Structure 1
Amino acid sequence: MKISVVIPVYNAEKYVTQAVESALQFEEVYEVILVEDKSPDNALEVCQQLVEKHSRVKLFQHPDKGNHGAGPSRNLGIEKSTGDFIAFLDADDYYLPNRFDAERELFKNPEVEGVYGALGVHYYSEKAKEQYYPIFGDRLTTVYKKHNPKDVFRGQIYMLGSFGLFSIDALTVRREPLMRKMSPRFKTNLRLHQDSEFLIRLSFYLDLYPGILDQAVGMRGVHENNRITKVDSKKIKPASTRVLLWEELDKWASGENMPDDVKLHINRMYRSFKIANAPVLQKWGMILKYGLTDYKSIRSGLYNINFRKYLFN
């Protein structure tokens, strides 16, 4: 196996060294690709030092040296990769020693196009733990049981509590089918939830198999400057970001050959979050409208914990 680990780097000078070294512990990691995204801190200098220190580390920036976000940065890393497999890692997260244990065996089967595992949580400070423990706790981000690859797409779309989630940090894919079957890869117009949108589409195009689900293969680093903290602190309205996510999925699904019930569910989830994001009077007007003409739009939203959370905000 030759694995290319793609790491987008933004405002992560404190953490990126740990991320890189956690990837370099594996012989299978052929290269670590850093894509520096015009960080306001000294992350670029730290990345340059890592390149000088480690022969397997490569550093890239966007052609205009500008800030483009995690999605476009991952796209650039994928384009520059030369390994047979691609894994992802955020610059403030890190791999555990068992990260590729399942992949070593599963990828012996050429039909396996991707493998996903479970992600744990590491709080970098007591302040971060105090603030974000209600969100992440000590729970694994994982799929609750092993599913057939053909069921993964539906499981992620419906997410009624029985399937679970997997993280981009715990995913490894074959490069060839990714490049051949999926374009665009990460959506460039989504600044948040672009990884969720990518994973849903990926599971439609590629056969993804479960790896280690009952223990962490990597750790999500939680600190005061995570992207998720901006959402939670209301600097970004949560429902509005999910409207964009489901709008993108709705546009995509309309042009794909998939069951009508799945397309309809995606459209209803889009409508649900439009309702949750609307001003109060408009919100209740839409609830009344869909309650009379298409109550399943409301029901689809009520199945989703995030919709229920933001409905009355």
Structure 2
Amino acid sequence: MRISVIIPVYNAEKYVSQAVESVLQFDEVHEVILIEDKSPDQALQVCEKLSRQYDRVQLYQHPDKGNHGAGPSRNLGIEKSTGDFIAFLDADDYFLPNRFDAERELFKNPDVEGVYGALGVNYYSEKAKEQYYSLFKDKLTTVYKRHSPEEVFPGQLHMLGSFGLFSIDTLTIRRESLMKKMKPLFKSTLRLHQDTEFLFRLSYYLDLYPGILDKAVAVRGVHEDNRITVVDSKKVNPAITRVLLWKEVEEWAKKENTIPDHVKLHIERMHRSFQIANATTSKKWGMILKYLVKDYQSIRSGIYNINFRENLF
């Protein structure tokens, strides 16, 4: 295996060295590609030092040296990659020694186009734990049972009951399959949830298989300066970002002729549910009454969706 690991770097001067060193422990890693995204801290200088220190570490910036977000940064990393497989890592997270144990065996089968595993959590400070323990707790982010590839896409769309989640940090993909079947790659229209939207489409086009699900293969590092801090500080409304996510998914599904109509309808209802949840109270009831008249099943599906119920009022 020749794996290219892509790490977008933004505001992570304290953590990127740990991320890189956690990747370099694997002989299978052909290259570590750092995409520095105009960080406000000293991350660029740290990345330059890492690229000088390690032959396998390559450093790039966007052509205009600007800030473009994690999605376009990952796209640039994919463009620059030369490995047969691609893995991703956020700059404040890190891999564990078992990260590619399942992949070594599974990718012997040419039908396996991607492998996903479980993600753990580490709080870098007590303050970070106080802020975000209610969100992440000490649980694994994982898929709860071993699903066949054709179940991964509907599972992520909440169509199979309690499916669970997997993180992009735990995903490894055949580069050839990715480049042949995924256009576009990560979308630049989403600043948040772009990895979720990418995983939806990826699981539709590629055959993804479960790797290690009962223990972490990578770790999410939680600190006060995580991207989620922006959401928490109200600079970004999390309800609005979910509306935008499902809008993107719905627009893609409408254009994809091979998606069954019942799946398209489910995606439309998810988008509608978040639209209603994000509306003002008066507008919310107006939308509910409208859809009760026009499409009872649609609003009913929203009311019984846990995400919608939690954000209704």
State if a TM-score over 0.5 links the two structures: yes
Distance between the aligned counterparts of 1:159 and 1:93, measured in 2? 30
For residue 312 of structure 2, what is the aligned residue in structure 1?
311
* Residue 290 of structure 2 corresponds to residue 261 of structure 1: no
CA RMSD of aligned residues (A): 1.1
| AA of the residue aligned to 1:168 | I
Query: Could you tell me how far 1:293 is from its partner in structure 2?
Result: 2.0
Deviations 1:162-193 (A, max 9, x none): 11110000000000010010010000010000
* Residue 69 of structure 2 corresponds to residue 69 of structure 1: yes
Report if the CA contact (8 A) 2:154-2:160 is conserved: no
Q: 1:12 to 1:25 in 2, by over 3 A?
A: same
Report if the CA contact (8 A) 2:117-2:213 is conserved: yes
For residue 148 of structure 2, what is the aligned residue in structure 1?
148
Query: Could you tell me how far 1:58 is from its partner in structure 2?
Result: 0.2
| AA of the residue aligned to 2:249 | L
For residue 277 of structure 1, what is the aligned residue in structure 2?
278
Identity of aligned residues (%): 76
Q: Superposed, which structure 2 residues align to 1:183-262 within 5 Å? A: 183-256=183-256, 257-262=258-263
Secondary structure (helix, strand or coil) at the match of 1:119 reads: strand
For residue 9 of structure 2, what is the aligned residue in structure 1?
9
Q: 1:135 to 1:161 in 2, by over 3 A?
A: farther
Distance between the aligned counterparts of 1:277 and 1:105, measured in 2? 45
Moved more, 14-23 or 221-230: 221-230
Report if the CA contact (8 A) 1:71-1:191 is conserved: yes
| AA of the residue aligned to 2:292 | G
Deviations 1:20-47 (A, max 9, x none): 0000000000000000000000000000
Distance between the aligned counterparts of 2:41 and 2:305, measured in 1? 37
The TM-score normalised by the length of structure 2 is 0.97
Report if the CA contact (8 A) 2:3-2:87 is conserved: yes
Q: Superposed, which structure 2 residues align to 1:162-173 within 5 Å? A: 162-173=162-173
| AA of the residue aligned to 1:262 | V
Secondary structure (helix, strand or coil) at the match of 1:199 reads: helix
Secondary structure (helix, strand or coil) at the match of 1:158 reads: coil
Moved more, 216-225 or 154-163: 154-163
Secondary structure (helix, strand or coil) at the match of 2:120 reads: strand
Report if the CA contact (8 A) 1:152-1:203 is conserved: yes
| AA of the residue aligned to 1:218 | A
